[in-house]
Amino acid sequence: MIQPDTAFLQATFEACAFHKFMRAELRVIEPGLVEVEIPWFADLDQAMGRIHGGVYAALLDTASYYSALSACGPVERLPLTQEYKLNLLASVKQEALVARARVLKLGRRVAVVETRISSASVELAATGLTSLVM
């Protein structure tokens, strides 16, 4: 893995209107390892006052994508999510969520990324595995 172009990663992250809606923040820790954090706000809740499962899915997809992109360096074609598996392990109420995504395997055509989602009070709220076409 090569050193990630942090400016490029941040620029693409900030250019996404969905990330702005989610109020998401990207932290590149090292090549292939990123964190994405979203603060809690009421629009993220489902009817029972817990964070909606779709928020976890979006967070998993976003963190996985940037993990893979941080590992591969400048490319002509950006990665595309091929598939993900999300296990919701605990519900979170009115807290920020942090996804920590790490590349497990970076191939020429496919990357596999593991993501763990936590909050201040829940050590492991969700976990997932994502395949991305490179």
CATH of domain 6-133: 3.10.129.10
SS3 of residue 99 by DSSP? strand
Range 2-35 burial, b when 16+ CB lie within 10 A, else e: eebeeeebeebbeeeeebeebebbbebeebbbbb
Confidence of residue 3 (pLDDT cuts 50, 70, 90): confident
| Alpha-carbon distance values, 40 to 2, 50, 56, 62 (Å) | 33, 10, 12, 17
Confidence of residue 1 (pLDDT cuts 50, 70, 90): low
What's the pTM value of the predicted model, to 2 decimals?
0.95
* pLDDT tens digits along 115-132: 999 999 999 999 999 999
Q: Where are the domains of the chain?
A: 6-133
Q: Is a pLDDT exceeding 70 seen at residue 134?
A: yes
Looking at residue 4, its pLDDT comes to: 83
What's the CA angle centered on 130, arms 126 and 134, to 5 degrees? 155
